[in-house]
Structure 1
Amino acid sequence: MATASVVPSGKWTVKPEGEIQIQGGSSEDDPAPVTILDTLNDIVSQHGAKPALKVKRGGEWKTWKYTQYHADVQRVAKSCIAIGLEPHHGVSIIGFNSPEWAMTFMGTIMAGGIAAGVYTTNNKETCQHIATNSRSQIIVCENKTQLNKILQIKDNLPLLKKIVKYLPETEEPLDTEMREKGVITWEEFMEEGKDVKDDVLSDRVSAIKPGHCATLVYTSGTTGPPKGSTQINAYH
């Protein structure tokens, strides 16, 4: 007779799908733990019309209000689901600080995944280690420099489903070879989830617990392969 799998739960866990038990909720002075998405929703409801992100591109500033940022995070989450991101699997993000980085980070978590930041200075071997360790099914990279690293290791990443490049302004368009290897632009990525229903996303969000891993923060790897430190939803 088949037995149901048991999701690890306790004071600590090394399983990506595991849940850390957190104290709280016993009284008004000891509120129950919440997820990072709960916190985002509170911020949007209180400060929706205020600026959340700004970036200067092409000599002009572009601004996202919190409501706009939240909507784009939802689009990222739906696109991750459409591409095939499974709960508790990773999305590696390699690039400098940008709106796309922030949206990918939160969108990954909203889709039930685990966001994994990658140093822009990492070589291809280190990128491969992080993508493998985090079970990344999507890699989002800033530019052609970072993309080239990923293309060199793609065949060693059997879980990888799609590669997204998000800064095209000063670079040549993606060529046929890149597209055959699963590379898409940010604009194309944001359209991937257009047919994903709201209730599908809601189901993913409802399954996220405060004690679930939200992101893996990796060390620089100076003395060996980078080690991933778990950051759970409640501690963001």
Structure 2
Amino acid sequence: MTSNKLPRPWKERAHQPEKKAGGHRYWTTKRDGEVRLRQDDSFPYETPLTVHDMVMGTATKYANYIALGSKHRHGWHLLTYIELYEECRRAAKAFLQLGLQRFHGVGIMGFNSEEWVIASIGAIMAGGFSVGVSSTSSPKVCQVIAESSEMNIFVVDDDRQLQKVIQIRGCLKHLKAIVQYKEKIQSQLRNLYSWRAFLELGDSIPDDVLNQVIDSQKPNQCCALIYRLVATGPPKAIMLSHDNITWTTWATAQSLPYKHPPEGQEVLVSYLPLSYMAAQIFDMWVTISVAGALYFAQPGALKVSGAPRLPGWAAGAWRVADEGPGP
């Protein structure tokens, strides 16, 4: 990672962004809107950060520490923080190549994996919305989410999830491409890409193009949508700003007895769906903020079989801890 390809951190691009946003309200329903970040300017707090700046900061400071671990057929695939950052940039450039528009959605539907994390961060870096979609969602629910987020790209893990998108793609006027990141692609469709082919698309986009998009982002702008399923109507979207994610991450990390390298590196296991914001904050964002190592459980399992290091922490539901993983 060379210095001339890196965008400047937000704090170097603008000082006291909450002051500049002082004319804004504390909430907005506009996808390109800006909000005021703090109620009391005299109260001590962390300088507002964009998601990109948080990820880049960790990748710069802890470049060679393990970031993600995934069990593949022939063993464990490990990514360091500098490798994770570079893969997120490749994904971001690939999204731009596919035509991702500013403040439009990138849907991600599938089991937790390194591709899920990279797609989410890459979508945000590219100026879009990271939109986690529960893997149990019906085609109708997927359609509602895709339409309301004006989704440009749908990322799925396997053919079962792909078939849901195929059923509804004729109704999705904003959809430009589908990416499948697990299994061999069985369907022959125009604008359907494997994960490898998808990442290769980004190699044709200059770094400066992505840097310009990153430089235009502000902590008080929306970068992610979380959908809440309700019994009496369609899914409801919750808009999250960069600051919603980075400040909540900082506050959560402050309340936990986590170590930072080189004193020590926390090891975590991810199994709760990342489409749930609580799991996403704990597994993805807090782990990145403290430069921890995140390993992914296998589908259908509540443990990481044969992990190279035993996890010290895992976000979970009470019933999992109560019942255990079973025999």
When normalised by structure 2's length, the TM-score is 0.65
17-26 or 207-216: bigger deviation: 17-26
Q: 2:142 & 2:72 partners in 1: Cα distance?
A: 27
Aligned to 2:200: 191
Secondary structure at 1:116's aligned position in 2? strand
Max Rg structure: 2
Figure out how many residues of one structure are paired with residues of the other and give that number: 223
Residue 47 of structure 1 pairs with residue 56 of structure 2? no
CA apart distance, 1:185: 0.6
1:95 counterpart letter in structure 2: G
Q: 1:27 & 1:72 partners in 2: Cα distance?
A: 39
2:99 counterpart letter in structure 1: G
Q: How large is the Cα RMSD of the aligned pairs?
A: 1.9
Out of 179, 183, 204, which is 2:189 matched to? 179
Q: Does the 8 Å CA contact 1:116/1:215 hold for their aligned counterparts?
A: yes
Aligned to 1:57: 72
CA apart distance, 1:191: 0.8
218-227 or 112-121: bigger deviation: 218-227
Aligned to 1:3: none
Secondary structure at 1:209's aligned position in 2? coil
Aligned to 2:170: 155
What is the percent sequence identity of the aligned residues? 33
Aligned to 2:290: none
Secondary structure at 1:91's aligned position in 2? strand
Aligned to 1:34: 49
Aligned to 1:207: 216
2:51 counterpart letter in structure 1: I
Q: 2:131 & 2:173 partners in 1: Cα distance?
A: 17
CA apart distance, 1:27: 7.9
Residues 174-229 of structure 1 deviation map (CA, whole Å, 9 limit, x = unaligned): 44xx323x211111100112111111101100111101111101113433211111
Aligned to 1:15: 30
Residues 10, 145 of structure 1: alpha-carbon distance in 2 compared, 3 angstrom cutoff: same
Q: 2:72 & 2:124 partners in 1: Cα distance?
A: 27
Q: 1:102 & 1:87 partners in 2: Cα distance?
A: 20
2:52 counterpart letter in structure 1: L
Q: Does the 8 Å CA contact 1:26/1:32 hold for their aligned counterparts?
A: no
1:125 counterpart letter in structure 2: K
Q: Which runs of 5+ in 2 are unaligned?
A: 1-22, 246-327
Aligned to 1:105: 120
Aligned to 1:129: 144
Secondary structure at 1:10's aligned position in 2? coil
Q: 1:98 & 1:66 partners in 2: Cα distance?
A: 15
Residues 158-182 of structure 1 deviation map (CA, whole Å, 9 limit, x = unaligned): 11000000002xx4x444xx323x2
Q: Does the 8 Å CA contact 2:69/2:79 hold for their aligned counterparts?
A: yes
Residues 96, 223 of structure 1: alpha-carbon distance in 2 compared, 3 angstrom cutoff: farther
- Which has the larger strand fraction? 1
1:34 counterpart letter in structure 2: L
CA apart distance, 1:30: 4.3
Q: 2:134 & 2:172 partners in 1: Cα distance?
A: 18
Residues 151, 35 of structure 1: alpha-carbon distance in 2 compared, 3 angstrom cutoff: same
Q: Which runs of 5+ in 1 are unaligned?
A: 1-7
Q: 1:90 & 1:144 partners in 2: Cα distance?
A: 21
Q: Does the 8 Å CA contact 2:159/2:186 hold for their aligned counterparts?
A: no
Residue 87 of structure 1 pairs with residue 102 of structure 2? yes
